[in-house]
Structure 1
């Protein structure tokens, strides 16, 4: 059996707010299917969906997105006004560089380069 990824779903407290953050970051139009479910289809990427859950985020994500960018500092600085936050310092090793970030819902993601 072989499956394909239909969408990546984030549990969150405010789907409408979180979908707008990701739509602004990756492109695409945010869609609010209901008060409990929103999604965006970023160009060239799988659908990201956001569903309301009653519990808050309490630990680090077990899975996160790595977003390749040409300029890490510019990407991080551009995401801050959208509601993102930096997590730690820029990391550089033999494979390249990355900056860990959090979206407004507290979900970690990374900008990567190299």
Structure 2
């Protein structure tokens, strides 16, 4: 049996707010669903769904999104304007550059560039 990725689900205190951050960052229209769920289907990307959970995030993510951008610094600055925060300084190595970020609920993601 071959499976396919349907969606990526993120636990969230406030799915409606978090989906709007990710929709502004990646594109697509935020959709609020029943029982507190929300989702967005960014162009060219898997659906991101946000399910309501009690309490704040605890600990480091075991999985994070790497988002390809042309300009890591500009992408990070734009995400900060939307409510994200940088996690440390940008890193450049033999594979390129990246900036680790936190979304408004503290979930890690990275902008990666050439």
TM-score, normalised on structure 2?
A: 0.97
In structure 2, the CA distance between the partners of 1:107 and 1:67, relative to structure 1 (3 Å rule), is same
Q: CA RMSD in A?
A: 0.8
Post-superposition Cα deviations, 1:10-44, rounded to whole Å, max 9, x if no partner, equal 00100000000000000000000035100000001
Structure 1 unpaired stretches of 5+: none
Q: Does the alignment pair 1:107 with 2:107?
A: yes
Aligned to 1:2: 2
Counterparts of 1:6 and 1:43, CA distance in 2? 14
State whether residues 12 and 105 of structure 1, in contact with CA within 8 Å, keep that contact through their aligned partners in structure 2: yes
Runs (4+) off by over 4 Å: none
Structure 2 unpaired stretches of 5+: none
Aligned to 1:22: 22
Counterparts of 1:70 and 1:35, CA distance in 2? 38
Higher strand share: 1
Aligned to 1:51: 51
Q: How much does 1:74 deviate?
A: 0.4
Aligned to 2:89: 89
Give SS of 2:87's match. strand
Give SS of 1:112's match. strand
Aligned length in residues: 114
